[in-house]
Every structure is written in structure tokens, then in C-alpha cells.
Structure 1
Amino acid sequence: MQNYHFRLQVKWGDKKYDPRKNLLKDSGILYHSVGPLGAEYWRSWMMGQEFQIMEGHMGDYWSQVTSAIDIRAYLPEYIMNPVAHESQPFLPMGHDEEIQGFCLRSNNYENKPGEWNTLELICFENKILHIVNGHVVMVLQNSRYINDGESIPLDKGKIQLQSEATEVFYKDIAIRPLEKLPAEYTAYFEE
């Protein structure tokens, strides 16, 4: 899939399993997924980009396998992780980049436990937005992966719904193609 607006609703169940029994509930939307299943360290899903779904962390970014991307974010300092914010310049993150493949969302807009959350992923050409309950929490661009030292554009692929040893419920999953980036989001990519 390429150039689309993906939307779903998600809420947590009560059950947790090893190895997450004492950790936050965790899941994700893996997008622009390509290649074989089992490419990453869990040996479960394909290489791609991740829109994190985690308690208190809906909208974070995780690189999968050799993927990389540029995110509007504050530069990390010492042991701090980069934090997304629309006012910041785009920073390269992920495989073969100085900043490893994780970035915190700009703010926590997750609803109370037991309530449904609406997540949206907008991907148009090389521009991507992570949206949680109507709030843009991350602005990304230039999705790519590294193969034998060469950077290859990663702007299309499959969508995978992830669950990491946590009961999670999804509903109202919808996707529609885009012919252009919706006008209300173009300013996020202006320099």
C-alpha cells in the first residue's frame, strides 16, 4: 500500500503474558512492511516502520530491522531519548544513523484505561504523520531501509498489527487511498 490514510480504534484488555507480565502493555502498527516475516529480533514480523501502541506511549516511533527515517524532534542529550515536536528540525534516526531507531511522541493523548483510542497514520509520498485521538504526535519523512550499505526508499508496503504478549482489541479498521496530502497537514512539512 502507498499514499493512504489508515485509521483504527484500539483499547487494552486486562491480560498480560510473559515476558511482559511486569511491563507496560505493548502493541503497534507496522507500516511500509517489506520482505520476509520474522526479520526482527522477535522473529515475528517484517521489516518496516512502527507506530508504537504502548501504555502512555501511543504514537512513539520504532525502527524495525534496517529501517531509518527523519523525524521532527529534539536532539537527545546524554541518556535521553529524542522527543518529537513539530517545531524542531528533521533528525535522521534508525539503522546506520547516529541516533538509534526510537523517538518518543510529542505528548500523551491516550484515553483512560478501558476507553477506545483512535489512531491515524497518514502516509503520502515521503511524508508521514502519527495521530492519536486527533492530535499529531509525530511528523516523519524520508522513510528508507539499508541494504548492503545502500539507502533504499521505503514508502510503500504491507500494514501489520502487532501484539506483544498483551491483550489488545482493535475495531473500525479503515484505509483509504490519498491523491494528495490533506491540506490541514501540509504546514507540518514546510521548512
Structure 2
Amino acid sequence: MQMASIDEAVSFIREFISREHQVEEAIWREPDHVRLSQRIEELNRDFHEPPMHSTLSRGPVDAAWLSANAEAQLGQLQPRVLFRVDGWEHPQLGDIHTADVSSTLKGDTFLFARYFIASRDPGLRLVALYHVCSECEGTGELNGRVCPECRGTGWNRRGGVEISDPGTHREERLFQEPTVE
């Protein structure tokens, strides 16, 4: 498998962020549950390596309820902010990239998640998702001790393969510093 360049990883994660945002908006705009489910399935097919999958979902809803609530919900959304993409050489996965991003809440510029991207057939795929530990806020320590929630990593796995260490750092591309409280 050919190694992906950092430019390819940046392009991939930007496309994912855009498509994810479109699907998240469709959750509040699309009254047809079947069409919405198809869009979520397309997002999974185009970007995720099973068992990794999007957590976006919505069951069937009343069209009047959707119409009454859509604008308020849409006003709280934004595409994720991309802070950085790093290239790594992982001992088992080979060439991988990480992408650090915000949440999808409007105005959020805090580090929220890290996606792991690997070269797969037929191209790049998201293979793992980690969130910043909510207990220690990503420091790995709580009250002067190793955080029991994340075991000192500052991250909690939310999907995909377990990656305790991304490997040897090769390169980075910085876009914006996350907000620090």
C-alpha cells in the first residue's frame, strides 16, 4: 500500500469535516428518515474503516416537530475546526496521520477530538477516534496522580482500533492553535 502524503491526509480530513457537517445539518433539515440514513451510510462508506463509524444518527421524527426545532439546532452547529495534522510511522499500522479537531458546537475552538487516518484499499480511511479526556481535560493527571479515566494519556477511545502510541513522529502541519482555558 502506498503511503499517503500529509497533503493527502489534510485534503481527506477537510473533505470529511465538510461532509460530516452536511450530514449533521441534514439531521435537522431532512424529514425523510430513509434518505437521512442513506446519507449517514454514505459518510461511513466513504470515510470510515469498519468497525469505525459515524456517531451521527436520528430516528424517525414528526415533520412538524423537526420544522419547529430545526433553526435553533442548526444555529448551534459549525464544521469542526482543524487544528493540526501529523504524520507518524506506526509499528503495526504503518504510515498513519492524526488530525486534531474541535467539536461541532458553534464557536468552539477547544481541542476536542483526534482522528487517526490510515491508508487502506481504496484510499484513506478513519480508523480510530479519540476524545480529550473529560476528567483530566487532556493533561493525563488528576489531583497530582495519573488520571484513572484515561490512564495518563489524556485521551479516551471513542471508536475504531486501539492506538496507545501513534509511533515515530515524521511531520506536522499546523493550522490554528486551539483555545486553552
**Same fold (TM > 0.5):** no
TM-score, normalised via structure 2 length: 0.28
Higher relative contact order (CA 8 A, sep 6+): 1
